[in-house]
Structure 1
Amino acid sequence: MSDRHTMFEIGKKIKALRQQRGWSQSDIAELLNISVPAFSKIESDITDLNISRLKQIADVFNVPIVDLISDQANPSQTLLDELQESKNTIAAQALKISHLQEYIITLYEQLHKHTQDVISS
């Protein structure tokens, strides 16, 4: 993906967030303390954004920066889904470990009983 394509996607995402909230370019420009034309250039991919400005914009929309720069439609949800999947895998493995521990204890008890029977004989 080229830098221009990435910047265009960021501008589109910013515009979509603004429109979802029913805010004007003027509203956002005021919150960012920049002019309306400067904000319009951000949405239109005329201005390259630095991390500091991305952080400001993310804060205005109350979203993580990754939501603005990711190629995914909803990266935060994707990350949450992956985290939940990992938690489920860990829980399943913990259950397997618990069953194995119980099995080892049972084998140990059987071995101990067998050893006691042999000694008693």
Structure 2
Amino acid sequence: MGIVGKNSSIGKNIRQLRQKKGWSQGEAAKCLKISIPAFSKIESGITDINISRLNQIANLFEVSIFDIIAKEGISVNPGSATEVRVLKERLADQEDEIIKLQKKVIDLYEEIRSNNPS
């Protein structure tokens, strides 16, 4: 589900957090037990991040998940109504994307099935 437009702000936030620590991509990747190219793809927004990886990154940089996924200029207190609203919006966007991808899978399955009748 790598949607560059949505994940580019997340990647940018991760890059900024890494740079604040003074770490290279290699150092951050080693701490996360992933390859440097995999970490680079996260920072560039190419790779979609699952919740467990997001939590791992937040713990590594000692920030909240919201600090990573918040768009630039949004600052809220953890647990505030604004944080909850923004997180719900992001979750709804991800759920919409999942539904679209599930539909594509079903359509492709039906296409393969109709082209290869048993």
> What band does the TM-score fall into relative to the shorter chain?
0.5 to 0.7
1:63 aligns with 2:63: yes
Could you tell me how far 1:74 is from its partner in structure 2?
5.6
What amino acid is aligned across from residue 63 of structure 1 in structure 2?
A: V
Equivalent in the alignment of 1:45:
45
CA distance in 1, matches of 2:63, 2:52: 14
Identity %: 50
* Highest RCO, 1 vs 2 (Cα 8 Å, sep ≥ 6): 2
What amino acid is aligned across from residue 36 of structure 1 in structure 2?
A: I
- Could you tell me whether the CA contact under 8 Å between 1:8 and 1:44 is conserved in 2? yes
* SS at 2:18 equivalent: helix
Equivalent in the alignment of 2:34:
34
* SS at 2:77 equivalent: helix
- Could you tell me whether the CA contact under 8 Å between 1:32 and 1:57 is conserved in 2? yes
Q: Which runs of 5+ in 1 are unaligned?
A: 84-121
State the structure with more CA Rg.
1
Equivalent in the alignment of 1:11:
11
Bigger fraction of residues in helix: 1
1:79 aligns with 2:59: no
Equivalent in the alignment of 2:88:
none
- Compute the TM-score of the two structures, normalised by the length of structure 2: 0.60
- How many residues in Structure 1 have an aligned counterpart in Structure 2? 78
Q: Which runs of 5+ in 2 are unaligned?
A: 82-118
